[in-house]
């Protein structure tokens, strides 16, 4: 596949994220190196504000440059989408997870030839079903059949008992 097929911006290298450093093979008798820890959830406490904003900006390049043009169409009350998705922290977390899976599974050298199909079926479909559900994070943003008005959902707050 070429970048032209997906209308990927010139700086598409930033969509994929950092290239992992290859590990040296352990010599016989050496203990295998410990596996790398998975990337942190975007809402993890180890993200300071500037790191969070930087990561969301990188995510936005992928969401707005690839995901939305290819997989988000016909927003409505039945299939909502919010153009201001960055303000929906739950949606950002889901989109971040989807992006991490895309980075790993779209690379067939790393994930095998079934990687892209796995991404579509195990990640894209269920994540988009949640995001675009009439009761999902963007449900409050749709007014009428197709008018988009950004509104954050009301959070469940602990009740104060009297």
Residue 146's pLDDT is 52
Q: Has residue 137 been placed in a domain? A: yes
Q: Has residue 61 been placed in a domain? A: yes
Q: Has residue 105 been placed in a domain? A: yes
* Three-state DSSP state, 70: helix
Q: Has residue 158 been placed in a domain? A: no
Summarised one tens digit per residue, pLDDT across range 61-70 is 999 999 999 9
Q: Has residue 142 been placed in a domain? A: yes
Q: Are 97 and 71 in contact (CB under 8 A)?
A: no
Domain count for the chain: 1
Summarised one tens digit per residue, pLDDT across range 50-85 is 788 888 999 999 999 999 999 999 888 899 999 999
Residue 139's domain comprises 47-149
Q: How far is residue 105's CA from residue 118's CA, in Å, rounded to a whole number? A: 7
Q: Has residue 2 been placed in a domain? A: no
Q: How far is residue 29's CA from residue 125's CA, in Å, rounded to a whole number? A: 44
124 closest CA partner among 35, 62, 82, 74: 62
Quickly list DSSP for 73-133.
-S--SSS---TTGGG-HHHHHHHHHHHHHHHHHS-HHHH-TTHHHHIIIIIIHHHHHHHTS
Residue 46's pLDDT is 55
Q: How far is residue 156's CA from residue 93's CA, in Å, rounded to a whole number? A: 18
Q: Has residue 129 been placed in a domain? A: yes
φ, ψ (nearest 5 deg) of residue 147:
-85, 125
Instruction: Give percent of the chain above pLDDT 70.
Output: 59
What b-and-e string marks burial along 93-128, b requiring 16 or more CB atoms within 10 Å of the CB? ebbbebbbbbbbbeeeeebeeebbebbeeebbeebb
| Other CB atoms within 10 Å distance of the CB of residue 139 | 15
Give me the chain's average pLDDT, please: 75
Q: Is 80 exposed, middle or buried (0-12, 13-18, 19+ CB in 10 A)?
A: buried
Q: Has residue 16 been placed in a domain? A: no
């Amino acid at each position: 596949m070429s970048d032209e097929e997906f209308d990927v911006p010139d700086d598409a290298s930033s969509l994929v994220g950092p290239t992992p450093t290859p590990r040296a093979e352990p010599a016989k008798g050496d203990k295998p190196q410990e596996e790398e820890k998975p990337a942190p959830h975007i809402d993890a406490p180890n993200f300071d504000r500037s790191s969070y904003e930087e990561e969301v900006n990188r995510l936005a390049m992928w969401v707005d440059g690839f995901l939305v043009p290819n997989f988000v169409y016909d927003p409505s009350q039945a299939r909502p989408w919010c153009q201001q998705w960055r303000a929906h922290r739950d949606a950002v977390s889901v989109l971040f997870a989807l992006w991490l899976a895309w980075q790993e599974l779209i690379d067939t050298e790393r994930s095998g030839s079934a990687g892209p199909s796995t991404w579509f079926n195990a990640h894209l479909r269920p994540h988009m079903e949640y995001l675009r559900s009439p009761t999902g994070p963007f449900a409050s943003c749709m007014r009428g059949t197709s008018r988009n008005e950004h509104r954050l959902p009301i959070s469940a707050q602990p009740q104060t008992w009297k």
